Structure 1
Amino acid sequence: MYMNSTLQLNPLVRVVAMLILGIALGDVLADVVGVRIWLGIFVVAVAAAFVAYNTNVRPMVQSLILFGCIIIGGALRMSMSVERSHFYFIQTSEPFSAVVSSMPVERTKTLRCELTIADGRFAGHRVYAYLPKGKDANNISVLSIGDGIVGYTQFLDIDDYSSQHSAYNKGGAYNMATHFDYQRWLKVHDIVARCFLRDGAWQRDVVQLDYLSGVQRVQLRCMTLREKLLKRYRELAISNEAYGVVAAMTLGDKSSLTAELRESFSVSGASHVLALSGLHLGILYALLVMFLGRRRHNILMLAFIIIAVWGYTAMVGMPLSLLRSAFMLTLFTFAQMLQRNNMSLNYLAFAALVLLLASPWSLWDVGFQMSFLAVLGILLFNDRLRVFVSHKYLETHPLVNWCFSMIVVSLSAQLMVAPLVAYYFGRFSCYFLLSNFIAIPLATVLIYLSVVMYALFFVPCLQGLVAIAVGWIAKALTLSLAWVSSLPAASVDGIELSNVQLWLVYLVVAVVYALLFYLEKIYKPFDNFRPRV
């Protein structure tokens, strides 16, 4: 009865579940059923739903027809995305104009960057551009995000190339993933082709952005600001290793992270600290709320918070994990105006609904999956695990409450994310609880000090002192996690899970949730605390 009431209070959960089913169906049948067929089926389904609503059809039948409409709509949206990402390639060079959308990365024989094509048949999409390390290398290396270039090149199919590089991640480092699908990763990030820019075949120029969407134009401008902030980081007294950590944790730039540092964070179970997610945006949100104080309930101040959240999200490249958090924080901010301060499954479902409708390929993004599953785990398990300890006792013992909350939140998220980490990366970090006790407080202080450091731009001497403190904290973080990763049995590696085994593991997690639900009914908490989810 309680489970059913939870679903009734969170109707978007069922909508998203049906949409995901439809997207998966559309992906499986992508080579068989085209957009026109799905559109015809969708029109028929909507007509059936309209007839059912205006007749005396049983409510259960109406619900089933409505769910069918959502499933078919998801399949239609997926089919449209597949068609949009399909291009034909010709054997000759063609003119192009584009905007640089990522800084050039040095590879073995070339420099690689991402270009957002500004006109033509690839307009609005991104391509990988490879540039030779020749006599013009110095000119190429100083390309910045937002620079316009024009020229002639031959666009090549990215799929013919991606299979040779599926073991490498975006930054060029080796990826341990056992089930990582590089071709899907490219589609998620809308990278549809590759090209080689020969010496003399391109030049800088002012490029019109009329064919780009408003979101793309705003994102390019915001990412240009990010490069200026990163440049300021490099000018301050921060060591190279500390700079890599600070740049990744505050501005989402992982290009300066060494392979050893990535491995240390991965083994210790603190990789989520390096990847921008709800943790980082939540810290910034809390800082804004603390700074505004009582004024945060003012409508103008709430609007300022929302603009700041989305501005930061755009500046760091709009990763899916951060978009999820931005949507949820926006809803939470609006809920505060209505005196409703509790997060719910509806918030999470709404964020998933918007992102999946905007880009169905997001469903297969590892960051998207982990971000949503981590929050789902917290919403489902957090209060249920807390129910067996007196709420009044925790309120009267703040330090115990903080430690217990850290343990419960970490376990709640890990229950949902650990199977996915084992599936994609073949690893389970045994000391993730210890790592979180170290990483999260240090990350919070580091982000706060980074904001203070930028705020002191008009006082260079104080800014330099804060930069030194930021470097020390980053160094302490890396040394601490390196120590955790060096402990005996720090991680279990070489795990291989099949698709069926992964689903069986999540079935076990569902059984654990049902067991906690049952124990809550027979166990009488000290202060009649009842979970909200």
Structure 2
Amino acid sequence: MAAAGLVLTTALLSGLWGNLFTQTLLVVLYGGLCFIYRRFWLIVLLLVGLLWGNWKHSWEKPIPQKGYVEMEITITSHPTLTPDGTYRYQAGKIFFTWGEVFHLGDRVFCRGHIRPYGTQALFLPREIVVKKRSFLLGWLSELSLLWQTSIVQNVPERHIQALLFALVLGNRTYLDYTTKREFQISGLFHLLAISGLHLALITGVLNICFALFLPKKYALMISCLLATFYTMLLGFPASLLRACLFLWGYALLWEVRPQILWLNYVALSAAVCCLLLPPSWLGIGFSLSFLAVMGIILLARPFAILFQKFTPFDTILGTTFAANLATFPLISWSIGEISVISPLANLFILPLFPFLLAGCFVSALWALFSPIPFILLSFLDHIWHAIAFVIHGLSFAEVLSFRLSSSITALFYGLMGFYLLWKLLSVPLSKKKKARKILFSPKNSPQKS
């Protein structure tokens, strides 16, 4: 299952974003490896994934990099409230701000100018007309907007508003440039993105509460349903969708959770995300999310064993180094630089971050109904100032940042994917050889017995 998910995910991503040379190289390497190990059904899966990715890529009309455009686009995010009172929208790789409210899934006709903005495109609209409303997802957008306006009304402090928007709703427009830059320099920008850590915290707290008066299995199922609703409320971001699929696998298969199940289910959930999400939704968050989880599954234990001789925090250090090693090249290529002190910064901040995250969730839920009490605001303020002080001190190490080229990044992940597929395909054969040796060894032979 893990090999199938890895092959399908790689083929889909290559079909969506890769050129002819990349796809040919993928077919030669992955197809040759599957042919050597006689996994012909994986070759068929590889070709199907490439065809599906290319069809998805050609299905969407190409968007010009700059200039005046007239086009129809589909809104792929909930309305995000900005500090100036307008709403920010995402439409694939395009983002823009507008004063009217649109919903996730709405089809709109736009006129305006497009400017390149990193890996995305900034759209400066002159006119936007709704062509087709999405009523099924409209109430989710309305509820998300209600939550955002309630936070603005019931939280007087601006920096606490920015915290709640960033850590609970994934809206980083309220954070100032200095804060975002310091998080980026210290290698902690991933903490500002809604990811599996948020969903694990929500599910864990809800599971503990429901388990007080319900059986554990039913408590976990209810917690998963509420976590799924939270994923829908945030507009199905790729990182949360991955975590939600992984969480449901944990809940449904909670009685058979050997270590091989995690790798199988992560690879399968990656393939499901690629099939469900349009190609424009497959951004940097999708890749970083899966790479971090794969790195933790494959490398956390060896790193923990390595650090066991030096520190009692071997598990935390092993997990941190594993996730950082798996995501370093992609972060360097996409953001522009990575920090050498990122593992050290994670070690200092991660023990405090769950308390900040829990306080933000409680405050955001409280803000839905009434103003947040002073004690809770003071708690958030003290923890945030402690974290900001450490991050500000670590941000002076900007000279230790470096950048990897796109060719090195592609080579790193290509070798890692080839090695992982080789290990997955060679495991059954090695087990069979080992079983034969044990079965026909002289010690277990019938003549000796």
Asked if these proteins are the same fold (TM beyond 0.5), I'd say yes
Alignment of 1:502-517 (within 5 A): 502-504=410-412, 507=415
What is the alpha-carbon distance in structure 2 between the residues aligned to residue 12 and residue 104 of structure 1?
40
Is residue 321–residue 368 contact of structure 1 (8 Å, CA) maintained in 2?
Answer: yes
How far apart are residue 462 of structure 1 and its match?
Answer: 7.1
Cα distance between partner residues in 1 of 2:269 and 2:105: 33
Structure 1 residue 128: Cα displacement: 5.7
Task: Quote the Cα distance in structure 2 between the aligned partners of 1:494 and 1:387.
Answer: 28
The 1:295–1:14 alpha-carbon spacing in structure 2 relative to 1, beyond 3 Å, is farther
Cα distance in 2 for residues equivalent to 1:389 and 1:92: 56
Displacement of 1:259 in angstroms is 1.0
Aligned to 1:209: 134
Secondary structure of the structure 2 residue equivalent to 1:229: helix
For residue 353 of structure 1, report the CA deviation from its aligned partner. 0.9
- Distance in 2, Cα, partners of 1:72 & 1:148: 30
The answer to whether the aligner puts 1:252 opposite 2:170 as a matched pair is yes
Task: Look up the SS of the partner of 1:86 in the other structure.
Answer: coil
Normalising by structure 1, report the TM-score.
0.64
The Cα shift of 1:495 comes to: 2.0
CA distance in 2, matches of 1:441, 1:266: 19
AA partner of residue 230 (structure 1): Q
Equivalenced residues, count: 406
**Partners in 2 of 1:127 and 1:445 — Cα distance?**
35
1:438 aligns with one of 345, 348, 367: 348
Residue 427 (structure 1) shift: 1.8
Whole-Å separation in 1 of the counterparts to 2:368 and 2:297: 42
Q: Which amino acid aligns with 1:292?
A: F
Residue aligning to 1:79: 54
SS class of match (1:441)? coil
Q: What TM-score, normalized to structure 2?
A: 0.74
Aligned to 2:11: 21
Aligned residue identity for 1:81? K
Distance 1:155 1:463, change over 3 A: same
Please tell me the residue identity of whatever aligns with 1:224: E
Q: What amino acid is aligned across from residue 405 of structure 2 in structure 1? A: L
Match of 1:301 among 207, 216, 219: 219
Residue of structure 2 in register with 1:428 after alignment:
338
Q: Secondary structure in 2 aligned to 1:165?
A: strand
Q: Name the % identity.
A: 17
Contact 1:457–1:463 (Cα < 8 Å) also in 2? no
**Alignment CA distance shift 1:250-1:491 (3 Å):** farther
1:419 has 2:339 as partner? no
Q: Deviation string for 1:276-314 (max 9, x for gaps)?
A: 111121121221222223556444423311111111111
User: Could you say what the CA RMSD is over the residues aligned between the two structures, in angstroms?
Assistant: 4.5
> Does the 8 Å CA contact 1:106/1:112 hold for their aligned counterparts?
no
> 1:14 and 1:68, CA in 2 relative to 1: closer, same or farther beyond 3 A?
same
Identify the residue that residue 453 of structure 1 maps to in structure 2: 363
Conservation of the 8 A alpha-carbon contact between 1:302 and 1:333: yes
CA drift of 1:82 comes to: 2.1
Alpha-carbon distance in structure 1 between the residues aligned to 2:46 and 2:317: 38
2:381 aligned with 1:463: no
1:68 aligns with 2:19: no
Letter in structure 2 aligned against 1:497: S
Q: Please tell me whether residue 196 in structure 1 is matched to residue 113 in structure 2.
A: no
Which secondary structure does the structure 1 equivalent of 2:174 belong to? coil
Name the aligned partner's letter for residue 318 of structure 1.
F
3-state SS of 1:83 partner: helix
- Aligned equivalents of 2:102, 2:191: Cα separation in 1: 25
Matches within 5 A, 1:131-142: 140=99
Describe how 1:218-257 pairs up with structure 2 within 5 A. Answer: 218=137, 220-237=138-155, 239-257=157-175
Which segments of 5 or more consecutive residues in structure 2 lack a partner in the other structure?
24-33, 423-449
Counterpart Cα distance in 1 of 2:352 and 2:307: 27
2:406 matched residue in structure 1: 498
Moved more, 321-330 or 441-450: 441-450
How far the C-alpha of 1:194 sits from its partner, in A, is 7.4
Q: Do the aligned partners of 1:145 and 1:227 also contact (CA within 8 Å) in 2? A: no
Amino acid of the residue matched to residue 207 of structure 2? Answer: V
Decide which moves more: 230-239 or 260-269.
230-239
Whether the 8 Å contact between 1:113 and 1:130 is mirrored in structure 2 is yes
Aligned-pair CA distance for 1:237: 4.7
- Which amino acid counterpart does residue 102 of structure 1 have in structure 2? P
Give the gaps of 5 or more residues in structure 1. 1-10, 34-58, 117-124, 132-139, 168-180, 187-192, 211-216, 395-399, 515-533
Partners of 2:300 and 2:322 within 8 A in 1: yes
Q: Go from structure 1 to structure 2 and tell me whether the alpha carbon gap of 1:146 and 1:370 turns closer, same or farther (over 3 Å shift).
A: closer
Query: Highest relative contact order (Cα 8 Å, sep 6+), 1 or 2?
Result: 2
1:402-413 equivalences under 5 Å are: 403-413=313-323
Match of 2:120 in 1: 182
Q: Which moved more, 1:419-428 or 1:223-232?
A: 223-232
Distance 1:130 1:251 in 2: 18
Counterparts in 2 of 1:386 and 1:370: CA distance versus 1, 3 Å: same
